[in-house]
């Protein structure tokens, strides 16, 4: 997997990266969201561009400037992110789903702002499932040999949870971040573990998001013809 600095090993390739976190609105001023910053996805986009790839970055609510030389498609909701990613993935060699996609969205959208009513408790917000974009893409690949990568944060038995998720999603690689206090990867230095559908395990030492991004592209490049 060794690679010379700045080597354009992704030249001629099209890669799609999703970044940020989706927001699921239930009235014109409110949404259900998450705390994903989008920084890991932007690091993936920048490093892929530096390695010669044509990059489409589907950015959900990141509020960051567009990286140079990258096609950025801004989206809001999970449904919009799905549409943008599937469209861009049509001719992509690899897709990396770094975005935090909301699992659920409000079942209803009020076109006017929801108001309090005197002396009344609030109505619960009913939710419905969002589509699983990663699983859908992995099950129905837009191109033969397309490499599909997911991200997951896990607690407790990180490796077992990660393996189960990798199998469930059907993707080629799953980057598992350990959250919480327990260090189940072994070394205290490990911040992430990349699990391969081929059984491989690549530990990623604690470090900048660029370093993790470079390792992801090393693993992707090794799986492209
Ligand atoms: N993902 C997706 N579509 C969804 C949910 C998640 O494409 N509706 C992708 C994420 O972008 C990520 C991967 O799936 O790359 C794993 O996300 P995660 O939330 O860990 O997976 P879930 O199947 O939603 O599992 P959990 O119940 O643990 O949240
Ligand atoms: Ca989820």
Ligand 1: residue of 17, 24, 131, 150 to mutate (most ligand atoms within 8 A of CB) is 150
pLDDT of residue 3: 57
Residue-wise pLDDT for 166-191, tens only, equals 999 999 999 999 887 544 444 445 58
Residue-wise pLDDT for 15-47, tens only, equals 999 999 999 999 999 999 999 999 999 999 999
Residue nearest to atom 15 of ligand 1 (CA): 150
Q: Would you call 190 a catalytic residue per the annotation?
A: no
Residue-wise pLDDT for 111-128, tens only, equals 999 999 999 999 999 999
Residue nearest to atom 18 of ligand 1 (CA): 152
Q: Which residues are annotated as a binding site for CTP?
A: 103, 113, 131-134, 151, 165, 169
CA-to-CA dists, residue 69 to 10, 64, 133, angstroms: 14, 15, 26
Confidence of residue 6 (pLDDT cuts 50, 70, 90): low
Residue 182 backbone dihedrals phi, psi, to 5 degrees: -70, 135
Query: Rounded to an integer, what distance in angstroms lies between the CA atom of residue 157 and that of residue 34?
Result: 23
Residue 16 backbone dihedrals phi, psi, to 5 degrees: -115, 130
Ligand 1: residue of 58, 97, 127 to mutate (most ligand atoms within 8 A of CB) is 97
* Ligand number nearest to the C-alpha of 100: 1
Q: What is the mean pLDDT of residues 130-153?
A: 97
The three-state (H, E, C) secondary structure of the chain, written as one string: CCCCCCCCCCCCCEEEEEEEECCEEEECCEEECCCCCCHHHHHHHHHHHHCCCEEEEEEECCCCCCCCCCEEEEECCHHHHHHHHHHHHCCCCEEEECCECCCEEECCCCCCCCCCCCCCCCCCCCEEECCCHHHHHHHCCCCCCCEEEEEEEECCCHHHHHHHHHHHHCCCEEEEEECCCCCCCCCCCEEEEEEECCCCEEEEECCCHHHHHHHHHHHHHHHCC
Confidence of residue 86 (pLDDT cuts 50, 70, 90): very high
Whether the predicted model's global pTM rises above the 0.90 cut: yes
Q: What is the mean pLDDT of residues 135-154?
A: 97
ipTM at complex level: 0.99
* Ligand number nearest to the C-alpha of 168: 1
């Amino acid at each position: 997997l060794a690679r010379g600095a700045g080597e354009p090993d992704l030249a001629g390739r099209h890669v799609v990266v999703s970044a940020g976190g989706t927001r699921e609105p239930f009235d014109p001023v409110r949404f259900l969201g998450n705390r994903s910053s989008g920084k890991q996805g932007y690091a993936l986009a920048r490093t892929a561009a530096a390695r010669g790839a044509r990059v489409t970055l589907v950015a959900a609510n990141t509020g960051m400037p567009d990286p140079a030389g990258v096609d950025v498609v801004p989206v809001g909701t999970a449904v919009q992110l799905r549409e943008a990613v599937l469209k861009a993935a049509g001719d992509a060699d690899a897709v990396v789903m770094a975005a935090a996609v909301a699992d659920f969205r409000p079942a209803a959208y009020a076109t006017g702002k929801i108001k309090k009513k005197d002396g009344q408790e609030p109505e619960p917000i009913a939710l419905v499932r969002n589509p699983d974009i990663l699983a859908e893409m992995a099950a129905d690949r837009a191109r033969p040999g397309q490499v599909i990568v997911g991200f997951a944060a896990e607690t407790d038995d990180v490796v077992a949870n990660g393996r189960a998720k990798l199998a469930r999603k059907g993707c080629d690689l799953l980057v598992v971040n350990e959250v919480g206090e327990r260090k189940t990867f072994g070394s205290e230095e490990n911040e992430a573990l990349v699990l391969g559908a081929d059984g491989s395990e690549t530990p990623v030492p604690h470090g900048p998001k660029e370093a993790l991004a470079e390792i992801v592209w090393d693993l992707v490049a090794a799986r492209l013809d």
